[in-house]
Chains A and B, each alone.
Chain A
Amino acid sequence: MKTSWKGSISFGMVYFPVNVYTATSGSSGVKLNYLHRKCNNRIRYKKVCEACNEEVSQDEIVKGYEYEKDKYVVITDEDFEKLPIKSKKVIAISHFVDEDAVDPIYLDKAYFISPGNFSASKAFELFRRAMRETGKVGIAKITLTSNEYVAMIKPYDKGGMLLYLLYYLDEIKKTEDITELNYNVDIHNNELKMAISLIENMTGEFDIAQYRNEYQDALKQLIQAKIERKEVVSPPEAQQNIVDLMEALKASVEAAKNSRTDSSGIGKGKSRGKSMEKSTSNKIRKTATEDRKAAAGENDTGELVGVNAGADTSAKAKSGKKEKTL
């Protein structure tokens, strides 16, 4: 797997290199393009300057912040580099907390972490096992591309460790803004018991493998069907062809060989010789002499080594298919 980046984990006196990999692949949905309805050609997005009305290339583009309507301050690459970010490429763990102390709502993107090199494996595994024994997870600061994040680090059951980027508090919306949540209801004990027993009846194991994106499956089938109606799907070229070719080559080689080593060995098994002749291709006929062909059918016991048991069936199939083969 391709690393997203390489860096180090640090906490207290401990410091070791790690590799970070993206753990999730995002949407597996079918990618569709926008087309012009009347001609089916692609709709393209162009970056055009509003004022100049010209298309601009990537190196002509800078970033700016709109501090007032139509007024911007430009932020250059140099400006970004001057920003005081200490945690660059270092996952600096500030403290550890109980795993369930982190509400899942804060979990953003997941990454795998592995030891950065062979000698870091021990520190890595030590740290991983200690977290597992204590049931704690590490809270750290980390920089990815051009932003600073809070992260949670925990051992992963299937090997290595997981790093979750966390949302900052101001990125989580407030439920106070949902007015319907300001309700006032009375609940009877019996009703609660009934609801609980309903839940208990429906309790099972969590198995993500049971779930498939059925909408996407149906969409893929639809697309496949549409293509197949449009594209001529040719009948598969039978593997038999290649078997015929190999058999024919083998036969002609063996024939040639036998005609050299055993010039008198002609006469028995004429009918088999004939069928082999029939099955031998035109091209091979050009190169093999009549003698070779005559010998082809007779010597398939002595020198032919280990042809599979299917030779007979392929010989049968050959006579019908010959023209196509070569």
Chain B
Amino acid sequence: MNRDMFDEKNIVPMAPVPSEPFDSDDYIYEIKFDGMRCIGYYDTDVTLRNRANKDITALFPEFRDIYKQFRHKCIIDSEIVVLNQGKPDYSRLNKRRFLSNIIQINLMSKKIPATLIVYDILYYKDRAVTEMPLIERKRLLEENTVEGGHLAISRFVRGAGTALFEQAVNQELEGIVAKKIDGIYVQGRSRLWLKSKRKQDMDLLLCGYMEGKGFLFCDNDLNYRISIRNVDKNTFDFLYKYVIEHQLDNSPLKFQPLNLKGAIWAKPELYCVVEYMQEMESGYLREAVFKGIKMD
């Protein structure tokens, strides 16, 4: 038998393009969850791949039997989240994603278990369904999925994008995704999906560390932008090591902020993604959160 997309397991997840929230009956809207993208291959076992197609099955032992909640062999697009008081909590998920020790993985899967939020189906029974219109894939997904346990089906509304976005903002969720109601599933970036985020992303360079302030970041033009203190232990160790190993005697910044005397400076070469609420006129980023190292 020919190898198909289920056997090949090299799907590039469909990625939305940024957009302002809008209302259109040609679109359905769903919540954008702050978690780890996951393409799942379900038959009589489970294989989970992340956005970069890395196998992450072993990281989530709580999903080991989740294939039983799909009626037929399938490939499902989804988001892995770790909940905190009913909402996805990215920093909690971070505590799960870097583990390699089986004992720690098992322990954490019980302490802070993950939830799989499914929202698209790419393969059903014995064939790809990526050419099917979205609304029919949604119907197929619902028919094929038994909700419960660690598994939830993403809800959606038609037409009311701005209202859903407003709710997402009120609830401090990541944002929403608008999806063309008759759109096919495209691998990679596509305008058929449009995301509106509560917060924005910015790529910044790590340029130092200062006791009490945290890690220091600047932009491409070597303008100081923000310090971030609140990172988890793994991230702290990694960034701190990077600063020490790329230490500079003098500040690389174009202008020297007065409040950064005594900082350890580093060669600004490591791109990081910082999420923020609002960019102030001064260039300061409100509610900045470290999201990760930029990989591409």
Contacts and interface: CB of A to CB of B under 8 A. Distances in A.
A301 to B, nearest CB: 13
A254 B157 contact: yes
Contacts of A223: 103
Given A224-B107, A239-B115, A283-B171, A306 B147 contact: no
A41 interface: no
Interface in B144-164: 145, 147-160, 163-164
Contact of B86 (A236, A254, A284, A326): A326
Contacts of B88: 242
B111 A308 contact: no
A220 B152 contact: no
Nearest to A243: B152
B28 interface: yes
What size tier do the contact residues of chain A reach? 35 or more
Contact of B117 (A242, A283, A305, A326): A242
A257 B159 contact: yes
B113 interface: yes
B241 interface: no
A102 B209 CA distance: 57
Interface string B265-276: 000000000000
A3 B81 CA distance: 33
Nearest to A292: B163
A250 interface: yes
Given A306-B139, A306-B142, A308-B147, A246 B170 contact: no
Contacts of B56: none
Interface stretch (A44-52, A207-215, A225-233): A225-233
A75 interface: no
A227 B111 CA distance: 11
A253 interface: yes
Given A242-B81, A257-B159, A306-B138, A233 B167 contact: no
B145 A308 contact: yes
Contact of A237 (B28, B86, B154, B160): B86
A325 interface: yes
A228 to B, nearest CB: 7
Contacts of A253: 157, 160, 163-164, 167
A232 to B, nearest CB: 8
A224 B142 contact: no
B11 interface: no
Contact of B170 (A237, A242, A243, A284): A284
Nearest to A255: B163
Contact of B155 (A220, A249, A325): A249
Nearest to B29: A253
Contacts of A314: 147
A250 B155 contact: yes
Given A242-B86, A244-B86, A30 B103 contact: yes
Nearest to A227: B107
A325 B163 contact: no
A227 B135 contact: no
Contacts of B163: 252-253, 256-257
Closest 8 CB pairs of A and B: A241-B86, A246-B155, A236-B113, A308-B142, A305-B158, A257-B160, A253-B163, A239-B115
5 contacts: A242-B87, A244-B86, A246-B152, A253-B157, A253-B160
Given A239-B152, A249-B155, 6 more contacts: A237-B84, A239-B149, A249-B164, A283-B171, A284-B170, A305-B28
